[in-house]
């Protein structure tokens, strides 16, 4: 159930006046849609917890036209607000007329990759071993399913073009959603994080999946290290990426063989085709010089949102 909406009006006084009319009663007695162009903040209750998410409505949004939507999940210690401000997705949403959604995880006690105990936001993904003993883990799949149901009630969402992207802990959560929400999602991108345990079976529906990581991502290649781009294919056959590749190939039914493309001074991608549908794919990308960050041109030359959308938009559910 939608509990509240914060309306943040963007632009000039003229834009404000136009947005204000959304709250006026229509002449035909039909209630106007409860959104404004730009930033809309929602709170919903899931299992007794108040959960927050942001929806950015692009200027070109037409409530009479089915519109693609992208959910962007933040990393550990982050927030929907942070991703709204810094990921670059709302800007891509504006330019491409996409509804972009930025949910926030709950706070937990957990152990980070350095062995340090933290109390901060983190998604309840399949990587459950990091949480402190005694933590009551809430169902983030239920939250995201409820969010999508509300999104479809409030906006004209194209159900055949509903995508999810996640960074770090958010990337791990995307892994879980690819398994448990494949009935809703069209394709997913994991950036800097992925988690598929060996004992997890395949999803009810097989999705296109992408995983991207930086050649200087300390979580994967060690502190202060950089994986040479020339070692990309060798890395897929051993540490640190062998399990990521083999788990995706096995779980989502991709071919064992692959083709590598790209520019070694920018990024290389290994492309695995789906079985039996070669139109479905697993794209595994190594980005040169990228640390453990979601790239937004300010922290790295790569524009992650733009590159991710270029890959995602080629897929439809039907």
Instruction: State the 10-residue block means of pLDDT for the chain, 318 residues long.
Output: 40 35 37 81 96 98 97 97 98 98 97 90 91 94 98 97 98 96 97 84 90 96 95 88 91 95 98 95 98 98 98 94
pLDDT of residue 203: 85
Give the tokens for residue 99: 């509804």
Instruction: Please report how many Cα atoms fall inside a 13 Å half-sphere around the Cα of residue 54, on the Cβ side.
Output: 23
Segment holding 147, helix H or strand E:
helix 140-154
Place of tokens 């595994």: 284
Cα–Cα distance for residue pair 313/316, rounded to 1 Å: 8
Cα–Cα distance for residue pair 135/51, rounded to 1 Å: 18
Of the candidates 52, 39, 123, the one whose C-alpha atom is nearest the C-alpha of residue 84 is 39
Three-class SS state of 206: coil
Beta-bridge partner residues of 177:
none
CB 123, CB 195: distance < 8 Å: no
pLDDT of residue 33: 57
Give the dihedral of Cα atoms 242, 243, 246, 247; nearest 10 deg: -160
Cα–Cα distance for residue pair 311/289, rounded to 1 Å: 21
Reduced to 3 DSSP states, what percent helix, strand and coil does the chain have, rounded to the nearest 5?
25, 30, 45
Of the candidates 59, 52, 107, the one whose C-alpha atom is nearest the C-alpha of residue 84 is 52
CB 89, CB 72: distance < 8 Å: yes
Count other Cβ atoms within 10 Å, centred on residue 186.
Answer: 23
Q: Which positions ≥6 away from 105 have C-beta within 8 Å? A: 73, 74, 78, 121, 122, 123, 124, 140, 169, 170, 173
């Amino acid at each position: 159930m939608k509990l509240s909406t914060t309306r943040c009006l963007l632009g000039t006084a003229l834009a404000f006046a136009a947005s204000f009319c959304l709250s006026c009663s229509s002449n035909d007695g039909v209630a106007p849609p409860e959104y404004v162009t730009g930033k809309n903040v929602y709170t919903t209750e899931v299992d007794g917890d108040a959960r927050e998410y942001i929806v950015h409505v692009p200027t070109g949004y037409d409530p009479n036209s089915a519109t693609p939507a992208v959910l962007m999940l933040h990393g550990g210690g982050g927030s929907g607000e942070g991703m709204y401000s810094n990921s670059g997705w709302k800007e891509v949403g504006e330019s491409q007329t996409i509804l972009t959604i930025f949910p926030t995880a709950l706070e937990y006690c957990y152990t980070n990759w350095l062995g340090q105990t933290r109390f901060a936001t983190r998604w309840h993904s399949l990587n459950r071993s990091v949480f402190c003993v005694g933590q009551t883990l809430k169902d983030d799949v239920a939250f995201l399913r409820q969010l999508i149901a509300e999104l479809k009630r409030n906006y004209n969402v194209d159900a055949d073009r509903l995508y999810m992207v996640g960074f770090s802990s958010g990337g791990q959560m995307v892994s879980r959603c690819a398994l448990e929400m494949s009935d809703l999602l069209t394709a997913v991108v994991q950036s800097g994080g992925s988690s598929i345990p060996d004992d997890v079976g395949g999803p009810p529906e097989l999705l296109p999946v992408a995983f991207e990581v930086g050649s200087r991502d300390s979580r994967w290649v060690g502190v202060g290290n950089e994986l040479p781009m020339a070692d990309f294919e060798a890395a897929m056959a051993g540490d640190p990426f062998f399990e990521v590749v083999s788990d995706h190939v096995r779980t989502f039914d991709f071919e064992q063989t692959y083709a590598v493309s790209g520019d070694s001074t920018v990024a290389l991608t290994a492309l695995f085709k789906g079985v039996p549908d070669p139109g479905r794919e697993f794209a595994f990308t190594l980005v040169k010089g990228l640390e453990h960050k979601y790239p937004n041109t300010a922290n790295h030359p790569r524009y992650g949102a733009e590159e991710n959308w270029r890959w995602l938009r080629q897929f439809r559910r039907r």
